[in-house]
Chain A
């Protein structure tokens, strides 16, 4: 490998002989991050909250997505909904590990994403499965008029065993957020069936108070009994470099998505 030939090009690489576990080496890599696709907006359609309600909930929302297509670049993720709950319950009963449950959840989520893609196809949206959204999103957005992806991240058998229970911690909220973070998206909007974040579940507790805006670290510290999003998203937000906030809005209310895309105060903003 070594060449003493005069004029030979020797590659000097600053990490070549370093331990990548060394704290000083790690700290030396801290610097501003380039946004790969800063114009895209990530829209996550909730599985249980939107998709499972069928045409009554889904079709008006897709119409609103298409209505915003000319103004904004939209990349749409979908969650798995009730089918993932069912496959979890069967998988848990059979003693399957978290990694197997994560693999199953991604297959359920792919079904919802595919249905969304079919309905948006005529408006120029393309469906990109996990490896292709990584490789082809820039090219596809140059050629197509939007993209749809599977909200569940491709952690599969490598999903982390959670601290409590066996349910995979990285669901479609985390997957959609991470797509926004890595591409440096303009916004990450999570569409649910509640108006945003409350101090308790508004469906069961009439005293639940609405929270319009809150920091992720503060929200973690408050240890609320229920959240409308996966808790891991809060940890990801604390370490955000580009996508420094998410907005949770009620996707069942017409106009909410448009207002969120326009940057108006709607729903709940959780920021870094």
Chain B
């Protein structure tokens, strides 16, 4: 804490209470989802995902050489495209639609020095996925 940082478990604590996925048996809510929900409940300044890719592509860049990088896209558009593969768990995209605090998430390549610092400084490195209609969640939020 004296360095202004803490390390936390990324997985949410759902354990045996994890909901079934629509298809298959892989738990749909893993570390991407757990970290997103921590950011949301604390009203964090930023939610940055550090991966081994420059962010979101139209396909898996490790397998498809024709995959194109996407620098910025709304969560609504991304859900509508319904890609075969993604840089993030789909549960995060669903939660973005109802999140009250987190309006955008950013993905940077942790293997490239400087990208995390740039993202923390507010620069548009990697990929930003944003909520194009955050008012929808806020309008619904009134108890």
Contacts and interface: CB of A to CB of B under 8 A. Distances in A.
Interface stretch (A3-11, A14-22, A47-55, A210-218): A14-22
Given A31-B25, A99-B37, A165-B143, A181 B14 contact: no
A239 B24 contact: no
A161 B92 CA distance: 12
A134 B13 CA distance: 12
B111 interface: no
Interface residues of B, number: 41
B14 A29 contact: no
A47 B16 CA distance: 22
Q: Chain A binding site: helix, strand, loop or mixed by DSSP?
A: loop
Interface in B117-143: 137, 140-143
B38 A157 contact: yes
A218 to B, nearest CB: 18
B127 to A, nearest CB: 14
Given A134-B16, A156-B13, A21 B41 contact: no
Given A153-B17, A160-B95, A30 B41 contact: no
Interface string A119-158: 0000000000001001000000000000000000111111
Contacts of A27: 23-24
A131 B13 CA distance: 9
Ranked 4 nearest A-B pairs via Cβ: A99-B41, A29-B24, A153-B17, A158-B12
A157 B35 CA distance: 11
Given A19-B60, A26-B24, A163 B85 contact: no
20 contacts: A19-B85, A21-B87, A26-B24, A99-B40, A100-B41, A134-B15, A134-B16, A154-B15, A157-B37, A158-B13, A158-B34, A158-B38, A159-B37, A161-B98, A161-B99, A163-B97, A166-B141, A179-B16, A239-B22, A241-B25
Interface in B25-56: 25-26, 30, 34, 37-38, 40-41, 43
